[in-house]
Amino acid sequence: MSLVRLSSISIIACVLALLALCLIGIWSLDRLYDRRDAMDDLIVLKGRADALSVASDNLLLFRPDPAIWRAFVDEAQAVRDKLLEPDDRQADARRAARQIEQLLESLESIHRQQSTSPPEPGVGPLGVPRRARITMNQVAGHGIAIDSAFEQLLAQRQQDINRETTRFVMTLALASAAFGLFCIFAFSWMYRRLAGPTRALSLTIQQLRQGDRSARAAVSGRDEFAELSRTFNQLLEEQQQSERTIQQQETELAGQSRMLTIAGRVARFGGWSLDLHTRVVHWSDMVAEIHGTDPGYSPPVEQAISFYAPEHQPIISDAFNDCATHGTPFDKELQIIRVGGEPCWIRTTGVAVRNEHGQLVRVEGAFQDINERRTLELRLEAAQRMEAIGQLTGGISHDFNNILTVILGNADLLTEELANAPAQRASAERIAQSAQRGAELTHQLLAFARRQPLDPAPVDINAFIDDMRDLLQRTLGGPVRVELALAPALWPALVDGSQLESAVLNLAINARDAMPDGGTLLIETGNAVLEPDYAAAHVDVTAGEYVRLSVSDNGSGIPAEDLERLFEPFFTTKQEGKGTGLGLPMVYGFIKQSRGHIKVYSEPDAGTTINLYLRRAQADSASDPATPADPASPIRGGHERILVVEDDPMVRDFAVRRLERLGYAVVTADSGQQALDVLIAGKAVDLLFTDVIMPGGLDGAQLADRARRLRPDLPILFTSGYTENAAILHGRLDPGRQLLQKPYRTADLAGKLRQMLS
Evaluate whether 268-369 and 641-757 have a shared fold: no
pLDDT digits (tens, 9 = 90+) for 629-669: 444 456 778 889 999 998 877 778 878 888 998 899 999 99
pLDDT digits (tens, 9 = 90+) for 487-545: 999 999 998 887 888 888 888 888 888 888 888 899 999 999 988 878 877 777 888 99
Contact status, residue 281 vs residue 304, Cβ threshold 8 Å: yes
Range 268-369 classified under CATH 3.30.450.20: yes
pLDDT of residue 453: 53
Contact status, residue 614 vs residue 596, Cβ threshold 8 Å: yes
CATH number, domain 457-615: 3.30.565.10
Q: Is the peptide bond before 488 cis (omega within 30 degrees of 0)?
A: no
CATH topology of domain 641-757: Rossmann fold (3.40.50)
- Three-state secondary structure string covering 411-476: HHHHHHHCCCCHHHHHHHHHHHHHHHHHHHHHHHHHHHCCCCCCCCEEECHHHHHHHHHHHHHHHH
pLDDT of residue 152: 78
pLDDT of residue 122: 46
Tell me the one-letter amino acid at 311: E
Q: What is d(CA 738, CA 724) in angstroms, rounded to the nearest whole number? A: 9
pLDDT of residue 454: 61
Contact status, residue 598 vs residue 588, Cβ threshold 8 Å: yes
pLDDT digits (tens, 9 = 90+) for 676-707: 999 998 888 999 999 887 877 788 888 999 99
Segment of 131-140, 194-203, 449-458, 649-658 carrying the highest mean pLDDT: 649-658
Mean residue pLDDT of the chain comes to 78
pLDDT of residue 490: 93
For the chain, what percent of residues have pLDDT higher than 90?
16
The continuous run of DSSP H or E covering 740 comes out as strand 739-741
Contact status, residue 563 vs residue 602, Cβ threshold 8 Å: yes
| pLDDT bracket for residue 129 (50, 70, 90) | low
Report the predicted TM-score, pTM, of the whole model to 2 decimal places. Answer: 0.43
Q: What is d(CA 670, CA 649) in angstroms, rounded to the nearest whole number? A: 8
pLDDT of residue 397: 55
Domain locations along the chain: 3-118+126-187, 268-369, 376-448, 457-615, 641-757
Q: What is the torsion angle, in degrees rounded to the nearest 10, for the CA atoms of residue 463, residue 469, residue 475 and residue 480?
A: 140
The pLDDT of 96-119, averaged and rounded, is 69
Q: What is d(CA 633, CA 354) in angstroms, rounded to the nearest whole number? A: 59
Maximum C-alpha span of the chain = 236
Tell me the one-letter amino acid at 137: N
Closest to 696 (Cα-Cα) out of 718, 719, 671: 671
pLDDT of residue 365: 92
